[in-house]
Chains A and B, each alone.
Chain A
Amino acid sequence: MSDPTRRRLIQGTAGILASGLFPAIHAQEKITLRYLGTAVNQDKAIAEKFKADTGITIQYVAVNTDEVTKRAVTSPNSFDLIDTEYFSLKKIVPTGNLKGIDVKKIKNADKITTLFTTGMVGGKAVGDQGTAPKKVIYLEGEKSKVFAKSPTQFMSLIPTVYNADTLGIRPDLIKRPIDSWAELLNPEFKGKAAILNIPSIGIMDAAMVVEAKGIYKYPDKGNMTRKEIDLTIKTLIEAKKAGQFRSLWKDFNESVNLMASGEVVIQSMWSPAVTAVRTKGIACTFQPLKEGYRAWAAGFGLPATLTGKKLDGAYEFINWFLDGWAGAYLNRQGYYSAVLETAKAKMEAYEWAYWMEGKPATQDIKSPNGDLLAKAGSSRDGGSYEQRMGGIACWNALMDENTYMVQKWNEFVAA
């Protein structure tokens, strides 16, 4: 090696060291928030924009839905901000690991959609079977282990994103209209159907099918009795033994692969997965069904031990999140944001009309990173916000008989 090269190398190393040290010194002034959640919600662009606006760094800790709950329960000091689903609260809140969020410190708290606070959309009550957010959104105090029956000053989670899930289908391979959950177990799709293998969500989809087939009407799908669980699982096992399911899936990407490869033509699906199939140029519809949707919602929570500057930073992040930019970003991905009017202000009129009002697109609709999602003239599956959210039949849930349900679900997998 010649000398100049070596010198350059040493200089380079020194440069790396210097640049590595420099931010470390500054970090004492500027805080970093550890954001625990699932990868789906942890968008790089959101963290970058927040850093540019406030100087606070967001450090994403990405794990799966079950793991978020597990960490909240077992290691509550490993994060500064948690992004979790409302149905997990039934496990987390009784541990006292979460702090009630003071709505007086949240600027747009009173503008949070009524879907969360009262369970109404456009003045009409939507289905509240399962863990509907309105049942668990308020706590009795800042340090409380119980949910409040009526609105209080303290919220367990400030909503971030939510959506209403339904079946995804391949219209090009099915070639006829689909309008009921019952079609998932229709023998016509033998060996070409799939259901998701996350017991607490899969059982709800199964329950929608059972009701649609007219086998049984549940008083509360989100909180089944042992007998109801037995019946639901029995229906699933019969279908499985008859060869109905090509596969079960657990991971977002698995569902995309199953659908895109044509292994499966009808399955429980998530909205961004449908988008992912479509961006491959393959026809895929997030099919609205007459029995309604299974909804889910996620929100920000604060660990009980958070204090001082980090606590202030976390509040700043939540306020920033509800302020519109992030909401518009999420709406453009096909999710829904918690405060609609601030998001509307940050979206183009044609975007708002397509995503929220269910109107045909007047120009091409693009995702936040510029991928073409829909051509001009097409309209969104499921129509407007009111139509879609108003069609909610039940919510993702944690049942009282959860242990028994998981045991029975394992039986289904083993059958």
Chain B
Amino acid sequence: MSATTKKQLRAGPPAWLQALPFGAVFLFFFVAPLLLIAAVSFWPTSDYELIPGFTGQNYVSIFEGCANLAEPCVTLKTYWSTLRFSLLTWACALVLGFTIAYFLAFHVRSPGMQTLLFVICTIPFWTSNVIRMISWVPLLGRNGLVNQGLLGLGVVNEPVEWLLFSEFSVVLAFVHLYTMFMLVPIFNSMMRIDRALLEAADDCGASGWQTLWNVVVPLSRTGIVIGSIFVITIVMGDFVTVGVMGGQQIASVGKVIQVQTSYLQFPLAAANAVVLLAVVLMIIAALTRMVDLRREL
């Protein structure tokens, strides 16, 4: 680096000063509340006031009876069900997101058409989350459109019950809501793939699948990992979708925390939140090991 460019770089305010405003926002509105939650999770539980103290009781009661694996405790069952939803949603969103992104990136040639199709993908997001979920009822319900269609065609004799208020409907709603979060980063990665690489693969005699598997997928890895982080973290913390689509009969970690805060059991809810955070951080750590995000972005 020449002396002049060095000087130019130094001309502005020092780097730490530039980062300070955003750092301060993070500190006050993210790190501080997080630390508070961690602190409160060790406070004793009381119905109507928060008394500072130190006890492990909240964590003990979360994991009470969890040693017995034959009859899993509520916490394990809840985490298992939430994790399963995350994995199912993630798998469906990945397949769908990747396919759509591939189509948009490699088969649609004109940027204008790409933009148009992208906008079409965002149409579901033009209404509120809750309305989108409630609209499933007239579609999937016992007397809903799908059941009427099936009955009319003579495919079934009685309305299909598992279409609504079931694990199926929860996953369906999740996939519908969050595939976009998978699609966008993957599309972004795919657009940055040098098209010459695809031609090179073709020249070397690779089949379509071989090119996809050995060239496109590895080079879209960053997008896949970012999308996965989005989808998994959102689903792990969700309680509205599971509540509405599961007929309130399916547990999720977020729901447990919500019930506890509404009954003013803040320390217990905080302890649950800390456990959830730890689990999600572990998942993210595992995912980021697969790809060095900082290098690839």
Q: Which residues of A contact B (CB under 8 A)?
A: 64, 66-67, 69-70, 73, 90-92, 94-95, 191, 197, 199-200, 240, 245-250, 257, 261-263, 402-403, 406-407, 409-411, 413-414
User: B48: which A residues are within 8 A, CB to CB?
Assistant: 73, 91-92, 94-95
B149 within 8 A of A: no
Known contacts A73-B49, A257-B137, A406-B259; A247/B249 CB under 8 A = yes
User: CB distance B143 to A261 under 8 Å?
Assistant: yes
Q: How far is the CA of A181 from the CA of B179 in the complex (A)?
A: 44
User: CB distance A402 to B263 under 8 Å?
Assistant: yes
Closest to A250 in B: B248
Q: Which residues of B contact A (CB under 8 A)?
A: 45, 47-49, 61, 74, 77-78, 81, 134, 137-138, 141-143, 161, 164-165, 243, 247-251, 255-256, 259-265, 268
Known contacts A66-B263, A91-B264; A197/B248 CB under 8 A = yes
User: CB distance A248 to B263 under 8 Å?
Assistant: no
User: CB distance B47 to A410 under 8 Å?
Assistant: no
User: CB distance B142 to A70 under 8 Å?
Assistant: no
User: CB distance A246 to B165 under 8 Å?
Assistant: yes
User: B248: which A residues are within 8 A, CB to CB?
Assistant: 197, 247-250, 413
User: B78: which A residues are within 8 A, CB to CB?
Assistant: 410, 414
Known contacts A246-B247, A262-B143; A403/B259 CB under 8 A = no
In the assembled complex, 7 residue pairs joining A and B whose CB atoms fall closer than 8 Å, in A order, are: A67-B262, A73-B264, A247-B247, A261-B143, A403-B47, A407-B74, A410-B256
- Give the 7 A-B residue pairs with the shortest CB-CB distance, closest first: A247-B247, A414-B251, A248-B248, A66-B262, A197-B248, A411-B74, A91-B48
User: B260: which A residues are within 8 A, CB to CB?
Assistant: 406
Q: How far is the CA of A199 from the CA of B81 in the complex (A)?
A: 21
Q: How far is the CA of A69 from the CA of B49 in the complex (A)?
A: 12
Closest to A195 in B: B248
Q: How far is the CA of A263 from the CA of B266 in the complex (A)?
A: 35
Of B137, B256, B265, which one neighbours A261 at CB under 8 angstroms?
Answer: B137
User: B137: which A residues are within 8 A, CB to CB?
Assistant: 257, 261, 263
| With A200-B263, A261-B141 already in contact, 17 other A-B pairs whose C-beta atoms are closer than 8 Å | A64-B262, A73-B49, A73-B264, A90-B47, A94-B47, A248-B248, A249-B248, A250-B243, A257-B137, A263-B142, A263-B165, A406-B259, A409-B259, A410-B74, A411-B74, A413-B248, A414-B78
Known contacts A245-B247, A247-B165; A413/B263 CB under 8 A = no
User: B81: which A residues are within 8 A, CB to CB?
Assistant: 414
Of A200, A263, A413, which one neighbours B251 at CB under 8 angstroms?
Answer: A413
User: CB distance B74 to A414 under 8 Å?
Assistant: yes
Closest to A70 in B: B264
Of B45, B49, B77, B143, which one neighbours A403 at CB under 8 angstroms?
Answer: B45
Q: How far is the CA of A261 from the CA of B134 in the complex (A)?
A: 13
Known contacts A245-B247, A257-B137, A413-B251; A199/B263 CB under 8 A = yes
Closest to A90 in B: B47
CB B164 to nearest CB in A, in angstroms, measures 8
Of B134, B247, B259, B261, which one neighbours A199 at CB under 8 angstroms?
Answer: B259
User: A257: which B residues are within 8 A, CB to CB?
Assistant: 134, 137
Q: How far is the CA of A411 from the CA of B264 in the complex (A)?
A: 18
Closest to A257 in B: B137
Q: How far is the CA of A336 from the CA of B191 in the complex (A)?
A: 66
User: CB distance B262 to A191 under 8 Å?
Assistant: no
Q: How far is the CA of A414 from the CA of B260 in the complex (A)?
A: 14
Q: How far is the CA of A191 from the CA of B78 in the complex (A)?
A: 23
User: A67: which B residues are within 8 A, CB to CB?
Assistant: 262
User: B45: which A residues are within 8 A, CB to CB?
Assistant: 403
Closest to B255 in A: A413
User: A409: which B residues are within 8 A, CB to CB?
Assistant: 259
User: CB distance A410 to B264 under 8 Å?
Assistant: no
Closest to A97 in B: B48
User: CB distance A263 to B141 under 8 Å?
Assistant: yes
Q: How far is the CA of A318 from the CA of B47 in the complex (A)?
A: 29
CB A392 to nearest CB in B, in angstroms, measures 25
Known contacts A262-B142, A406-B265; A248/B255 CB under 8 A = no
User: CB distance A91 to B247 under 8 Å?
Assistant: no
User: A245: which B residues are within 8 A, CB to CB?
Assistant: 247, 249
User: CB distance B142 to A410 under 8 Å?
Assistant: no
Closest to A200 in B: B263
Q: How far is the CA of A347 from the CA of B269 in the complex (A)?
A: 48
User: A90: which B residues are within 8 A, CB to CB?
Assistant: 47
User: CB distance A191 to B161 under 8 Å?
Assistant: yes
Of B143, B250, B255, B264, which one neighbours A69 at CB under 8 angstroms?
Answer: B264
Q: How far is the CA of A262 from the CA of B161 in the complex (A)?
A: 13
Of A240, A246, A414, which one neighbours B77 at CB under 8 angstroms?
Answer: A414
Interface-centre pick from B141, B248, B251, B260 (highest chain A CB count, 10 A) = B248
Q: How far is the CA of A245 from the CA of B180 in the complex (A)?
A: 33
User: A95: which B residues are within 8 A, CB to CB?
Assistant: 48-49
User: B61: which A residues are within 8 A, CB to CB?
Assistant: 407
